[in-house]
């Protein structure tokens, strides 16, 4: 088994805000992240697939195709957008990095061709904070 990873990035606005709570409780729990006027990040997204290299190409999967799939099914839906307002697969969820990584996994999972296994998502929110998700087990 060989693991192949591609890095893509996107920029987005968001806030951490639980609509079922008072503004005071939101500020107490989320601090500056609850700013009602939003803040934002440069997200760095690592997508890892796994499989056996093909004898004809040496590839587990064509990394250019992987890049195109990520751009079409993820980046187009989140880049230069507002994660809370503009992203259908985040509707009704808290816009944490954890939930965003799970959401991205689910988007990619359904669009990868047969014979390529999605292994993991690694999502940097800042250079000092990242989340990893490997699917449900």
Residues that bind a second copy (CB under 8 A): 1-9, 11-14, 16, 18, 20-21, 29-33, 35, 37-42, 48, 53, 55-60, 62-64, 79-82, 85-86, 93-99, 101-102, 126-134, 137
Least separation in angstroms between CB 65 and a second copy? 11
Instruction: Annotate 46-68 with b (16+ C-beta within 10 A) or e (fewer).
Output: bbbbbbeeeeeeeebbeeeebee
In whole angstroms, give the CA distance from residue 25 to residue 22: 5
Least separation in angstroms between CB 23 and a second copy? 15
In whole angstroms, give the CA distance from residue 73 to residue 32: 30
The catalytic site residues sit at 33, 80, 125
Q: Which is nearer to a second copy, 31 or 111 (CB)?
A: 31
């Amino acid at each position: 088994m060989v693991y192949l990873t591609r890095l893509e990035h996107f920029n987005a606005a968001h806030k951490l805000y639980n609509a079922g709570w008072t503004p005071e409780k939101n500020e107490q729990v989320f601090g500056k992240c609850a700013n009602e006027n939003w803040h934002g990040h440069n997200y760095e997204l690592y997508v890892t697939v796994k499989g056996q290299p093909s004898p004809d190409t040496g590839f587990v999967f064509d990394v250019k195709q992987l890049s195109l799939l990520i751009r079409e099914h993820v980046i187009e839906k989140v880049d230069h957008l507002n994660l809370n307002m503009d992203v259908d697969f985040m509707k009704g969820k808290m816009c944490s990095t954890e939930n965003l990584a799970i959401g991205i996994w689910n988007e990619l999972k359904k669009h990868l061709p047969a014979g390529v296994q999605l292994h993991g998502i690694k999502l940097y929110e800042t250079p000092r904070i990242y989340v990893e998700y490997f699917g449900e087990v």
